């Protein structure tokens, strides 16, 4: 069931088009990720939904209600910012209570709600700490709690993990996913990090130049990008022009091929007609734990191949000749 | 740590310390020592005279009244204008900053002249207000006139000083507040002001000292007719009839004391609230 519906959201700033007719539907309980390079309009789109910026045109419906003209506080939306935006002069508890007090709830009710949410983000013992006493990850969990405690109908997350260092980022990512599942809260997360998008998003909208290039599930976006931009932005697939791919398989070909490195198989296969053998030379071999990344050359074309390493077998070294095979059904064509 | 206290590093501070001694400590010491000299003998007579004299007492009351009032007005309007300018980008902000810059430095004779043209006995605004029947009479050469004059540079100075302080409060904080239903006024009372409290106290102290020490504007607008401390000091130093530099020294020390009190109080306040 559609929970949030955006139609024809448009915005320009002077001569610059920031948002160019954005249509998007997000289902109840979905974690939707807006992914794109900086300047693609993803943050502006998020801020438009929150009401922090006013788009020039378009309609926004949340749970069936038109909200595009409402003040941010009346939209029923919670938001988590990249740099936490905690009130520095208040304790964690006061930060969470600030919005609840505005609703004139009984002290008792406020305290109960805060305790419940602090438990969800595992920060019960930090209730009386001030933001400066918390680590980055803890601060962001407080920010999340502050949004959750108001029981919003939609949660917006603006690059919530970008300011954290790698290890904490991964931990908080898992926790974010758990909390989103647990609360069933419809969420939109903005990021420029494809790993984050692929691991968090039920669905992903890849944005490019003020438009949505593709909206689909993670695997769909990964294996079947809708256009060249998405193909280049997601993963590190080999993108071969029709001519290059044709030379590689020794046939005429008329479309661009998107082939992920692990879709090439090393070693000659049976004489299956639909699978093509390619005689290649290993240019570079880079073992990295469970995988080894090769750069190979065949018919003057350089391409990447990725294979699993084995405990009791050596990988190919640079300079070796090898046969790799590609099954076109494992490739995507544009 | 060791290089901070090495003799060579200490030597580098010598020019600064020398300058401090020459420009602050020495004159201050002279003023202090001379303030205890009355008719060629050591005594507390100068201080006694200040305490006994209703005339000098009144000059302090007037100076304090003007300073406290214009500091309060300056901080209030300065804060409101600075908050208002936060939401303006580029052009408006630049123009307002330029005007505040001019205002903060437009003191003394030019300010007095401007006020005379506007609010003098035959000033444009005075005549206009009289013609419209809003006022019967207005005398700019008075305590009220001085308060208006001081407000010009006090508000402008407050705007100039408060704007960068407010820049330390990220826009995201305000956005976060607005999303959880906290309005602008409540945001500034509960978050904005507490966060910049220390700096605001420092600016208040500065504005107060600025007003207490104002001399040129006062002299240019009201000459010696309004009894304020700086005018009294100058009269005693340069007056032909009542010249008494040592009494002036004592008044200057008393003025210094009045300025030091709020500084000490504000420092104590800030210490209690160490974050």
Identify which of B265, B245, B257, B240 has the alpha carbon closest to the alpha carbon of residue B63.
B257
Which residues on chain B are in Cβ contact (under 8 Å) with A77? 179
Please write the tens of the pLDDT for every residue from A288-298: 889 999 999 99
Lowest mean pLDDT among A51-55, A58-62, A259-263, B93-97: B93-97
B154: tokens are 């006090």
Q: Into which CATH architecture does domain B54-272 fall?
A: Orthogonal Bundle (1.10)
Q: Do the first three CATH levels of A2-233 and A261-333 match, i.e. the same topology?
A: no
DSSP chain B: -HHHHSHHHHHHTHHHHHHHIIIIIHHHHHHHHHTTEETTEE-SHHHHHHHH-HHHHHHHHHHHHHHHHHHHHHHHHHHHHHHHHHT--HHHHHHHHHHHHHHHH--SHHHHHHHHHHHSTT-HHHHHHHHTTS-S---SSSHHHHHHHHHHHHHHHHHHHHHHHHTTS-HHHHHHHHHTT--HHHHIIIIIHHHTHHHHHHHHHHHHHHHHT--HHHHHHHTTSS--HHHHHHHHHH-SSS--HHHHHHHHHHHHHHHHHHHHHHHHHHHHT--
Q: And the tokens for A205?
A: 């909208």
Q: What is the mean pLDDT of chain A?
A: 92
Q: What is the 3-state secondary structure (H, E, C) of A174-236?
A: HHHHHHHHHHCCCEEEEECCHHHHHHHCCEEEEEECCEEEEEECHHHHHHCCCCHHHHHHCCC
Quote the tokens at residue A13. Answer: 């700033």
pLDDT at B148 over 50: yes
Confidence bin at A274 (pLDDT 50/70/90): confident
Name A55's Cβ contacts closer than 8 Å, sequence gap at least 6: A9, A10, A11, A19, A48, A68
The pLDDT score that the predictor gives to residue A177 is 92
Which residues in chain A have their CB less than 8 angstroms from residue B181's CB? 73, 99, 102-103, 150
pLDDT at B65 over 90: yes
Range A2-233: architecture per CATH? 3-Layer(aba) Sandwich (3.40)
pLDDT tens across A275-329, in order? 888 889 999 999 988 999 999 999 889 999 999 988 888 888 899 998 999 988 8
> B243 to chain A, minimum CA–CA distance in Å?
54
pLDDT for B71-87, tens place per residue? Answer: 999 999 999 999 998 88
Q: Is the pLDDT assigned to residue B5 strictly greater than 70?
A: no
Give, as one character, the DSSP assignment of residue A126: G
This prediction has a pTM of 0.81
Looking at residue B275, what is its pLDDT?
Answer: 46
pLDDT tens profile A36-74: 998 899 999 999 999 999 999 999 999 999 999 999 999
| Arithmetic mean of pLDDT, B61-71 | 96
A:143-172 residues touching chain B, CB 8 A cutoff: 143, 146, 150
pLDDT at A234 over 70: yes
Pairing of strands A65-66, B37-38: unpaired
Q: Can you tell me the distance from the alpha carbon of A218 to that of A194, in angstroms, rounded to the nearest whole number?
A: 10
Query: Domain residue spans in chain B?
Result: 54-272
Q: Are A96 and A149 in contact (CB under 8 A)?
A: yes
State the DSSP H helix or E strand holding residue A308, giving kind and residue range, or none if neither: strand A301-308
Owner of token pair 């900086």: A38
Q: Which CATH class is domain A261-333?
A: mainly beta
Q: What token pair was written down for B274?
A: 């160490």
Give the number of beta-carbon pairs within 8 Å between A and B. 63
Which strands, in side-by-side order, build the sheet including A203-208? A77-80, A154-158, A187-191, A31-35, A203-208, A211-216
If you search the block for the tokens 């006995």, which residue do you land on?
Answer: B121
Give the domain ranges of chain A. 2-233, 261-333
- What's the pLDDT score for residue B121? 84
Mean pLDDT of chain B: 88
Tokens of B137: 């009479």
The mean pLDDT value for B64-75 works out to 96
| Residue-level pLDDT at B273 | 57
Beta bridge partners of A26: A4
Torsion of Cα atoms, B123 then B128 then B130 then B131, to 10°: 140
- Residues from chain A that touch B185, judged by Cβ atoms under 8 A, are none
Q: Does residue A270 carry a pLDDT above 70?
A: no
Say whether the ipTM exceeds 0.85: no
Asked if A131 is an interface residue toward chain B (Cβ–Cβ < 8 A), one would say: no
- For the ranges A194-198, A204-208, A265-269, B230-234, the lowest mean pLDDT is seen at A265-269
Check the CA dihedral A116-A119-A124-A129 and report its sign: negative
Tell me which chain A residue has its CA closest to the CA of residue B190.
A89
- Distance in angstroms (rounded) separating the CA atoms of residues B154 and B136: 28
Residue of chain A minimizing CA distance to B195? A89
Mean per-residue pLDDT, B121-137: 86
The answer to whether residue A79 neighbours chain B at the CB level (below 8 Å) is: yes
């Amino acid at each position: 069931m559609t929970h949030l519906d955006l139609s024809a959201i448009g915005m320009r700033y002077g001569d610059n088009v920031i948002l160019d007719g954005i249509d998007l539907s997000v289902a109840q309980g979905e974690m939707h990720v807006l992914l794109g390079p900086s300047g693609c309009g993803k943050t502006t789109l998020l801020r438009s939904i929150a009401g922090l910026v006013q788009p020039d045109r378009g309609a926004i419906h949340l749970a069936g209600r038109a909200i595009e003209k409402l003040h941010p506080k009346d939209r029923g939306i919670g938001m988590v910012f990249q740099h936490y935006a905690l009130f520095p002069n208040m304790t964690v508890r006061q930060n969470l209570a600030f919005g609840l007090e505005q609703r004139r709830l009984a002290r008792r009710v406020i305290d109960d709600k805060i305790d419940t949410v602090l438990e969800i983000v595992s920060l019960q013992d930090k209730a009386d700490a001030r933001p400066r006493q918390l680590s980055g990850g803890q601060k962001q969990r407080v920010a999340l709690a502050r949004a959750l405690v108001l029981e919003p109908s939609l949660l917006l997350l603006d690059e919530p993990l970008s300011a954290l260092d790698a290890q904490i980022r991964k931990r908080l990512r898992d926790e974010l996913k758990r909390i989103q599942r647990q609360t069933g809260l419809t969420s939109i997360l903005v990021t420029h990090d494809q790993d984050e998008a692929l691991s968090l998003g039920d669905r992903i909208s890849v944005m490019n130049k003020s438009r949505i290039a593709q909206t689909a599930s993670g695997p769909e976006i990964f294996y079947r990008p809708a256009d060249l931009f998405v193909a280049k932005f997601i993963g590190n697939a080999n993108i071969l022009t029709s001519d290059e791919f044709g030379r590689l398989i020794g046939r005429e070909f008329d479309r661009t091929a998107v082939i992920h490195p692990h879709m090439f198989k090393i070693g000659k296969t049976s004489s299956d007609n639909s699978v093509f053998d390619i005689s290649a030379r290993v240019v570079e071999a880079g073992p990295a734990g469970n995988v080894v990344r090769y750069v190979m050359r065949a018919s003057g074309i350089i391409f990447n191949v990725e294979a699993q390493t084995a405990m009791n077998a050596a990988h190919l070294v640079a300079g070796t000749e090898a046969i790799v095979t590609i099954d076109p059904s494992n490739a995507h064509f544009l | 740590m060791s290089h901070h206290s090495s003799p060579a590093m200490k030597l580098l501070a010598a020019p600064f310390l020398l300058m401090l001694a020459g420009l602050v400590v020495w004159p201050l010491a002279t003023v202090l020592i001379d303030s205890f000299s009355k008719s060629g003998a050591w005594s507390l007579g100068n201080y006694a005279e200040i305490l006994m004299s209703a005339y000098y007492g009144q000059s302090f009351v007037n100076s304090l009244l003007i300073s406290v009032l214009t500091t309060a007005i300056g901080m209030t309007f300065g804060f409101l204008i600075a908050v208002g300018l936060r939401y303006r980008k580029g052009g408006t902000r630049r123009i307002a900053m330029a005007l505040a810059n001019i205002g903060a430095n437009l003191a003394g004779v030019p300010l007095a002249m401007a006020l005379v043209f506007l609010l003098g006995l035959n000033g444009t605004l005075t005549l206009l207000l009289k013609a419209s029947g809003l006022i019967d009479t207005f005398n700019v050469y008075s305590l009220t006139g001085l308060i208006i004059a001081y407000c010009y540079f006090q508000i402008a100075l407050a705007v100039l000083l408060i704007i960068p302080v407010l820049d330390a409060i990220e826009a995201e904080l305000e956005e976060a507040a607005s999303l959880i239903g906290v309005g602008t006024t409540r945001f500034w009372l509960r978050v904005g002001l507490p966060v910049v409290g220390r700096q605001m106290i420092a600016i208040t102290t500065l504005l107060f000292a600025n007003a207490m020490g104002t001399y040129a504007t006062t002299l240019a607008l009201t000459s010696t007719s309004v009894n304020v401390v700086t005018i009294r000091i100058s009269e005693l130093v340069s007056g032909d009839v009542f010249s008494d530099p040592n009494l002036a020294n004592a008044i200057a020390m008393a003025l210094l004391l009045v300025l030091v009190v709020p500084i000490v109080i504000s420092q104590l306040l800030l210490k209690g609230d160490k974050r």
